[in-house]
A and B are shown apart, each in its own frame.
Chain A
Amino acid sequence: MGIEQIPIHVDNGSDGLSGNASAILREVADMLDRLARTGETGAIDLAALPLTPADKAWLSERLGKGEVEISMELNGASRIHETAYPGIWWITHLNPMGAEIGEFIEVTPIPDMVPSQSDDIVRGSESLNFLINDLC
């Protein structure tokens, strides 16, 4: 029996909101403002904060979805999307079994993890050359 099947409902008050989601939203707004003015990036680890499922849903609804959505296969899936506010990205990491192992908001022109990384590029170039040498 999976955890989801255990019939238990915890009552967190009427809407399930702890009040923390709106605090995070303000923090993200500050970070975005700083990014706009100084170029300084920021990040928030959503697992480090006491958020109810309702908090998360509220936050994700407020931030919405923007133009970019990226899915990656990094020893388990990772999903990144830009929110409706350019510069604010929502990142979710899963492990190979599909369990969520990390959730972050990054305030940056592009999350660090997205561009091809220089040592991966070097290795990519090497293996492509191997392939070409094999052809001849």
Chain B
Amino acid sequence: MSDKNSGLIASLAHQGISRRTFMKYCATLASMMALPPSAGRAMAEAMAAARRPSVIWLPFQECTGCTESITRSHSPSLEGLIFDAISLDYQETLMAAAGHQAEEALEKAIEENKGKFVLIIDGSVATGLDGAYSCIAGRTNLELLKRVAPHAGAIVAMGSCAAFGGIPKANPNPTAAVAVTDIIKDKPVVNIPGCPPIPVVMTGVLAHYLTFGSLPELDKLGRPKAFYGETIHDRCYRRPFYDQGKFAKTFDDEGARKGWCLFELGCKGPVTYNACATVKWNGGTSWPVESGHGCLGCSEPDFWDGGGFYRALSMPADPLKMAATAAVVGTAAGVAATFANRAKKGAAKSAHETVTLADLEK
């Protein structure tokens, strides 16, 4: 929250990040987003020259896990440093100001950056009792959202709660929680679901916005296709075992020790669009399936009500519409399918559909 007129790169330089390191970061970011190498260069230039973008972050019904994911990913991650380098004008968890001062900072940031600031929301919006279940400084989240959103240049719903209602919305949804897009209908909202979301997706969206002045291409659930264009299962390194019908039956059997597919232990990878299998977690250390646990499907709507994390997908699990997807063991085309999917992502224009059995057998 220091000098706003210095560029993003100057602020990064203060933290010991050289221009070269930043170029490398942008090159790999562009690659991850399936953009051509020239886009990496454009990103490095545009982001370096950019005045630090003003960001207003509103935490609604949330657990702060999304903030943790970004700020503490692993130190010092470039995502964390870029997050420090943006002009975070209002973020209740991180800001020093409190009480009236904090609310003044919010109003000031809105006035000074009208039509330009990035609005990040984490947490769902309570609508029960006119929103009274979740208030900040005497205002309901619902009021606050309606006050701030019309002036934002871009809106990002960070995490599954803001994107889809998430855990607050889980049955029986006592606060009548809804997603940001249930309230904001007249503006595009980028959904970055995940519980928590992967930090680099946030930087990717920011980089795209600063470089091209537009939001990245989104799928029909409002997620950036570059990161949510393929399922966990499409890119899972255990996929060849799935294709060969080799499944772990318990968490401590022979199959589990050999790293076989976790499908029968409830893995939701086949119906979950997210980048965990390629980007991984904690600076690329590992990801849930690599650590021996199935995917929970955390980046899909209503994952909490999907019928049990340890129940295999073949069993009806209505809210996620997981039923008919993947009960059958595929043929031996796993690696080829994986590659075909990466190629598909390169083209990334066609709207992506839910995985069907036919897709899995491709």
Partner of A120, one of B20, B24, B342: B20
Q: How far is the CB of A27 from the nearest CB of chain B, in Å?
A: 13
Interchain CA distance A18-B125 in the complex, whole Å: 50
Query: Given the complex, which residues of B lie within 8 Å of A97, measured CB to CB?
Result: 283-285
Interchain CA distance A95-B284 in the complex, whole Å: 8
A8-B240, A48-B34 known; A99+B284 contact, CB < 8 A: yes
Q: At the interface, yes or no: A66 with Cβ under 8 Å from chain B?
A: no
Cβ < 8 Å to A, chain B residues 230-283: 237, 240-241, 257-259, 280, 283
Interface of B is mostly: helix
Query: Is A50 a contact partner of B340 (Cβ separation < 8 A)?
Result: yes
Most chain A beta-carbon neighbours within 10 Å: one of B24, B31, B340: B24
Q: At the interface, yes or no: A10 with Cβ under 8 Å from chain B?
A: yes
A50-B340, A95-B284, A97-B284 known; A120+B334 contact, CB < 8 A: no
Q: Which residue of A lies closest to B246 (CB)?
A: A8
Q: Which residue of A lies closest to B285 (CB)?
A: A97
Partner of B18, one of A6, A43, A74: A74
Query: Is A10 a contact partner of B240 (Cβ separation < 8 A)?
Result: yes
Most chain A beta-carbon neighbours within 10 Å: one of B9, B30, B37, B240: B37
Contact size class for A? Answer: 35 or more
Enumerate chain B interface residues (CB-CB to A < 8 A): 9-10, 13, 17-21, 23-25, 27-28, 30-31, 34, 36-38, 41, 48, 74, 78, 237, 240-241, 257-259, 280, 283-285, 290, 334-335, 339-340, 342-343, 346
Enumerate chain A interface residues (CB-CB to B < 8 A): 1, 3, 6-8, 10, 12, 18, 43-45, 47-50, 52, 72, 74-75, 78, 93, 95-97, 99, 101-102, 104, 106, 112-113, 117-120, 123
Query: Is A102 a contact partner of B31 (Cβ separation < 8 A)?
Result: yes
Q: How far is the CB of A89 from the nearest CB of chain B, in Å?
A: 12
Which A-B residue pairs are the 8 nearest by beta carbons? Answer: A50-B339, A117-B19, A43-B37, A6-B259, A102-B28, A99-B284, A74-B21, A74-B24
Q: How far is the CB of A102 from the nearest CB of chain B, in Å?
A: 4
Q: Which residue of B lies closest to A121 (CB)?
A: B19
Query: Is B259 a contact partner of A93 (Cβ separation < 8 A)?
Result: no
Interchain CA distance A61-B74 in the complex, whole Å: 36
Query: Is A112 a contact partner of B240 (Cβ separation < 8 A)?
Result: no
Interchain CA distance A45-B78 in the complex, whole Å: 21
Query: Is A10 a contact partner of B335 (Cβ separation < 8 A)?
Result: yes
Query: Is B285 a contact partner of A75 (Cβ separation < 8 A)?
Result: no
